[in-house]
Amino acid sequence: MSESRAAIRYAKAILDLAVDNNATDAVEKDMRAIVATISESKELRDMLASPVVSGTAKKEALHKIFKGSNAISDGLTTMLVDNKRVAMLNEVALKYIILNEQLKGKDIAYVTTAVPMNAALEKKVLKQVTAITGKEVSIENKIDESIIGGFVLRVGDLQYDASIANKLNTIKREFTNSL
**Beta-sheet pairing, 151-155 with 158-161:** antiparallel
* Closest listed residue to residue 53, CA positions, set 30, 79, 88, 87: 87
Give the model's pLDDT for residue 2. Answer: 61
What interhelical angle do 42-49 and 89-103 show, nearest 10?
A: 110
pLDDT of residue 172 exceeding 90, the answer is: yes
Mean pLDDT (the chain, rounded)? 90
* Closest listed residue to residue 15, CA positions, set 142, 138, 100, 139: 100
pLDDT of residue 18 exceeding 90, the answer is: yes
**64 or 3, higher pLDDT:** 64
**Rg of the chain over CA atoms, in angstroms?**
19
List of domains in the chain: 3-101 (1.10.520.20), 106-178 (3.40.30)
Percent of the chain with pLDDT over 70: 98
Q: How confident is the model at residue 1 (pLDDT cuts 50, 70, 90)?
A: very low
Measure the CA angle with vertex 138, ends 132 and 142; round to 5°. Answer: 100
For the whole prediction, is pTM greater than 0.75? no
Cβ partners under 8 Å of residue 121, min gap 6: none
Q: Is 155 helix (H, G, I), strand (E, B) or coil?
A: strand
3-state percent helix, strand, coil for the chain, nearest multiple of 5: 65, 15, 20
Residue 154 DSSP label: E
What is the DSSP secondary-structure string of 80-142? HHHTT-GGGHHHHHHHHHHHHHHHTTEEEEEEEESSPPPHHHHHHHHHHHHHHH-SEEEEEEE
Q: What pLDDT digit, counting tens, does each position of 124-164 carry?
A: 999 998 888 888 888 888 888 899 999 999 887 788 999 99
Q: What pLDDT digit, counting tens, does each position of 49-92 carry?
A: 899 999 999 999 999 999 999 999 999 999 999 999 998 999 99
pLDDT of residue 13 exceeding 60, the answer is: yes
